[in-house]
Structure 1
């Protein structure tokens, strides 16, 4: 029986990830003791937006193939594409279908460093604790430390965690290269805990999962199941070859008419009247002249339905909502 694909893109949750074949020998990790995934759904109940996106995401056949490639090879998935193409929705959809628990998210800015993703340590709080008396001074560095989303994803979980590193192209030039070693080796050190290991070999550390603590021995973390890492990029910069060769790369395209109709059905119900079809066609036409995002189409369809306008007014309002996000496109970049 074929084990491919584990991720089907159907949106129906299942446990097939447990049938994932053993990793390639060069991507095998043996961290431990093994941890169970934290309780909770892939999409937080506190974020109905993300829950809706996870449930309604419709991957292309190419996306399904390359998600499975990343899962089988234990490699990060670099996802590029225009705004609104579903780059950041993809990991939530995968986590939901494969029942991999809450998604860990690291939003990148120009000031982000590797240390931000691995852990945060507050030395001032420890200094203040020491000033309150001998009992407070005897606390551990772990009491003032919390793992970040990357640091949490690389804990020795039995099943892979899902980590979204969003907009990696906005980072400092050094961050992609800094990520190489950690993602290649599947491990990292926490210097504050390494120094304290002589007195305390094991430390209980807060993770990026709310309220969860894990034991870290000798200040070193080794992963077990390599996480499903999705790095998104809007194409604002080039990445070094050493970084690219360690990733599986997925380039999301602008959806065609059939895909757009499927997206509208998924988000707004099965009923597609002639007016909705016309709005999709109008969206495609306007997309030939400048950048548009699928969100703009969904906004236009919802609002023109909810307002109960007649046909000419719907088209006029939709056109106002579907304003171009950037300069005019070159003809070779236009919709098919």
Structure 2
């Protein structure tokens, strides 16, 4: 029988991803030639110490484990929603670390982001400059299209890797109205074309171009300007709930809603980051929970308050006032008068 769950949420790295069953017939991709997966040991150097620490200490709920595995089995994107500070973006780093998927590819969305940005970037001006600088027959001629093109995070994730890459599309709700719909076809088909390389392939002997992938200085082969995945990437799209998405987009995603953690989960989070909660930490947890019911608070705020309570040589009253200043409601610039 296939392994379930592949992702366990235990934060212990393993190769269970190799035991995934074959994809559903309608999600079976055959891109090639197969590329080796990036070395998992490069993961720590690819992200900040903060991301590495959060991946190592992420506390997954039973619902999170189930829906992550559903997305992996079905080869579907995972849309993660929830209040700020509930670990939406940290989830993909935890999954990538446990399943040894290599460095996480990250695409931060803004109101100006387009599908093209995620797939690749091409600089025609630098190519024109290179063509003027190089001479005919120059052995170091760098005027070819492939020398002025780099794949984006989405474009890299869809390369024909032998095992899935992990891709974070962060804050998709900040995009303009067209981006979710533009993503539909690419994520459904698992492939895309690079028109500049398609045109160049007509004049190339084998039609293969070596292009830079996102987050690396290594080049990967692209045949005839077409990229098709082999192992569908583990795609996590995060949303703070600032907008609604088209039904067609939601239908193609597995949806996970993260809620504010309860007292048991908060104690586990504190334990993972800072060790066993002491009496003062448990008091702060209780006060955090009582306030979280009337406004948005992030778990980071609680961790900051507990860390300072353990590190600073302050009396109890000073610690309480400092905690109040560290845990204002999100979106509130001035500290609350009520704690």
The answer to whether the superposition gives a TM-score over 0.5 is yes
User: Could you state the TM-score of these two structures normalised by the residue count of structure 2?
Assistant: 0.93
* Counterpart-to-counterpart distance in 1, 2:10 and 2:208: 42
- Residues of 1 paired with 2:208 and 2:320: CA distance? 64
Alignment correspondent of 2:244: 238
CA distance in 2, matches of 1:138, 1:144: 8
Q: Deviations over 1:206-259 (max 9, x none)?
A: 000311211111000010000000000000000000000000000000000110
Are 2:210 and 1:204 equivalent residues in the alignment?
yes
Q: Distance in 1 between matches of 2:312 and 2:96?
A: 35
Shift of 1:46: 5.4
In structure 2, the partner of 1:66 is: 67
Q: How does 1:147-296 map to 2 (within 5 A)?
A: 147-200=151-204, 201-270=207-276, 272-296=277-301
User: TM-score, normalised on structure 1?
Assistant: 0.94
* TM-superposition CA deviations, 1:62-99 (whole Å, max 9, x none): 00000000000000000001010000000000000000
The CA RMSD over aligned residues, in Å, is: 1.3
Where does 1:32-111 land on structure 2 (aligned, <5 Å)? 32-39=32-39, 40-44=41-45, 47-111=48-112
Distance 1:145 1:2, change over 3 A: closer
- Residues 138, 85 of structure 1: CA spacing in aligned structure 2 closer, same or farther, 3 A cutoff? closer
Secondary structure of the residue aligned to 1:204 is: strand
Provide the rounded CA distance (Å) in 2 between the counterparts of 1:138 and 1:62: 51
**Cα distance in 2 for residues equivalent to 1:24 and 1:123:** 40
CA deviation map 1:30-84 (0-9, x unaligned): 0001011122443436510110010011011100000000000000000001010
Whole-Å separation in 2 of the counterparts to 1:37 and 1:45: 15
Partner of 1:3: 3
CA deviation profile, 1:150-169 (whole Å, cap 9, x unmatched): 00000000100000000000
1:88 aligned counterpart, secondary structure: helix
**Structure 1 portions without partners, runs of 5+:** 328-336
Extract unaligned runs of 5+ from structure 2: 333-339
CA distance in 2, matches of 1:43, 1:90: 15
Rounded to whole Å, the distance in 1 between the matches of 2:100 and 2:134 is 46
